[in-house]
Structure 1
Amino acid sequence: MRHTLNLWRQQLGEAPSSIWQQTGLHVLILADNGLTAIPPEIGQLHQLSTLDLGHNALTSVPEELGKLTGLCGCLYLHDNQLTQLPDSLGNLTRLRYLNVGGNSLTALPETIGAMSGLVEFRAQHNRLTTLPDAIGKLRNLRELWLRGNVIEHLPLSAAGLHELRHLDLRENSLKAVPESLAGLPRLRQIDLRSNRLGQLPDWLALMPSLEKLDLRWNDVDPSLPLVSELEQRGCVVLT
C-alpha cells in the first residue's frame, strides 16, 4: 500500500523535521504552506514517487533532491521564487512530469537532458530566453509548456523531440517559427499566440500530424496561401 503524507495548505511555515525520518513515504504533499526552505534531509526519502512543493516561497531547492531517484510520477516546484534549478535534477531519470512554472528562472540546467523519462514538462511564466541544447535528448517528451517567457528561439537540438505532441510558446519573443520544429512527426498542436511573428515558413505545410496552429496576436497575414493550404488539409489555423 502506498504511504502518502498530505500536508497541503496547513500554514506550516516550516516543514516539520519528523517528515525526513519517514523513509517509507511514497507521496509527499507540502504545497501551499509558505515554506521558504527545504533541508538536505529530503534526500533520505528514497522511496518517494511523487513530491509536491508547489505554491510556497522557496528561493532554492537542495542538490539532495537529485537523490530521490525513485521519483517516477510527478515533481511540482511551480509557483515559488526559484531563480535556478539544481544540476542534480538530471539524476531523476524515471520522472514523468515536472512543473517548474511560475518562478523566476532565467535558464535551465543542461542536465535536464538526462531526465529521459519525462513525458510532460511545464516551465511557463519564468524568464527563459532559450532552452539548453540538451533538451533534444528528451525523446519521450509529449508536452512542452513554455508560455509567458521571453524566448527568442529554440535550439536546433529540439528537432530530437520526436514524440512531442503539444507545444505551447504563447507570450514569448519569437520573430520566426523555430526551424527545429520542421521534422517533428507527431507534433499536433502549436500555440504561438502573442509573439512577434510576421512570416510563416513553407515547411509548416509538410508537418504530417499538425492539427492546430494558433497564430493570434502576431503580424501574420491571414490571406497567405500557406494558411489556406493548411486549412484545406484539415488543420485549424487561428489568425
Structure 2
Amino acid sequence: MESLNLGGRGLTELDPDIRRHRGLRELYLHDNALTTLPEWLGDFPELRILDLSHQGITALPESIGRLGRLEFLYVSDLAITELPESLGDLGSLRYLGATDNGLEKLPAALGRLDALVELRLYGNRLTELPDGYGGLRALRELHLDGNPIERLPSTFEALTDLRVISLRANALTEFPVQLSRLPHLRQLDLRANRITALPDLAADAFPALEKLDLRWLDLDGVPAWVDALQQRGCLVYRTSAGTTQ
C-alpha cells in the first residue's frame, strides 16, 4: 500500500496498526477529531505527502523530523501555537502549509529547508520572521497575509528565486526595499498595511514585477519608479482620492 486516506472519518485517535504500512508514500488524516499525535508518526521512511489539516491537534510530534523524504506537509487550521524545531530536518520538503493557526513565532531551523518552494503561513499571529529565512534559496512563493508582521528581514534580498510574496493585512510601517532587488519577483501584495510613504528607488527596480498591489495604504504620493513599472507593463493597483487604480 502506497496511499492511505483516513480523512473525514471522525477519528479521535490513530490505530497503531497503521504502523504496519511502513512503505506508505501518502497519508491523509485531515478533517478528523484528533487532538494529539503519536511519536510513531515519524516511522514512515518513504512518506512524501502528509495531510493533518482541519482538526483540533494541539502539537506536532518532534518525530515528524524523521520523515526525511517528505515533500508536502499540510498542517493548516489546527490548534497549534508553535512548530517543532525538527521540521528543519525535512531536507526534501517542497511545500509547507501552516495557515490559520495560532503561531506567534517560527523556529529558526526552518531556514535550513533548502528544497522548500512554497511556504504558506497566512492567518497566524506572527510579528516577525527569523533572519535565517533568507537562506531559503529555492523559495518561489511566500504567503503571509493576515499576520501582524512589522518588518521583513534584510536577508530576504537573498531569496533570488522568489516569484510571489503576499503581505496583505499585516503591520508593516516601512516599504520592504530589499524586495526591489529580487530578479524574478512577479507579484507583490502590500494591501492594508501601515505604510505611509514609498521610498525613492531606481527606475529599474523590480525588474520582473508583473503585479504590485498598494491598495488601502495611506500614501502621501507615488514616486516615479511606480510609473516606470506601469510603463513596462506591470499592473499597479492603488487607492487614490477614494478610487482604486
| CA distances 1:136-166 after superposition (whole Å, capped 9, x unpaired) | 1110000000000000001111111100000
CA RMSD of aligned residues (A): 1.4
SS of 1:203's partner is coil
Aligned residues: 237
Other-structure match for 1:53 = 52
Other-structure match for 2:121 = 123
Equivalent-residue separation in structure 2 for 1:166 and 1:38 (angstroms) = 33
Deviation at 1:221, TM superposition (A): 4.7
Deviation at 1:202, TM superposition (A): 2.5
Other-structure match for 1:29 = 28
Is the alpha carbon distance of 1:204 and 1:26 closer, same or farther for their aligned partners in structure 2, counting shifts above 3 Å? farther
Deviation at 1:17, TM superposition (A): 1.8
SS of 1:167's partner is strand
Equivalent-residue separation in structure 1 for 2:12 and 2:140 (angstroms) = 36
Equivalent-residue separation in structure 1 for 2:30 and 2:185 (angstroms) = 32
Equivalent-residue separation in structure 2 for 1:203 and 1:20 (angstroms) = 56
| CA distances 1:71-112 after superposition (whole Å, capped 9, x unpaired) | 12x100011011111111011011110001110001110100
In the alignment, is the contact (CA less than 8 A) between 2:197 and 2:221 conserved in 1? no
1:141 matched to 2:139? The reply is yes
Other-structure match for 1:108 = 106
1:196 matched to 2:194? The reply is yes
Q: Which letter maps to 1:89?
A: L
SS of 2:165's partner is strand
Structure 2 matches for 1:1-239, cutoff 5 A?
A: 3-72=2-71, 74-203=72-201, 205=203, 206-221=205-220, 224-239=223-238
Equivalent-residue separation in structure 1 for 2:123 and 2:48 (angstroms) = 26
Deviation at 1:182, TM superposition (A): 2.7
Q: Which letter maps to 1:218?
A: L
Deviation at 1:169, TM superposition (A): 0.3
In the alignment, is the contact (CA less than 8 A) between 1:182 and 1:204 conserved in 2? no
* Unaligned 5+ runs, structure 2: 239-245
Q: What TM-score comes out, normalization by structure 2 length?
A: 0.93
Matched-pair identity in %:
47
Deviation at 1:222, TM superposition (A): 6.1
* Unaligned 5+ runs, structure 1: none
Equivalent-residue separation in structure 2 for 1:223 and 1:48 (angstroms) = 50
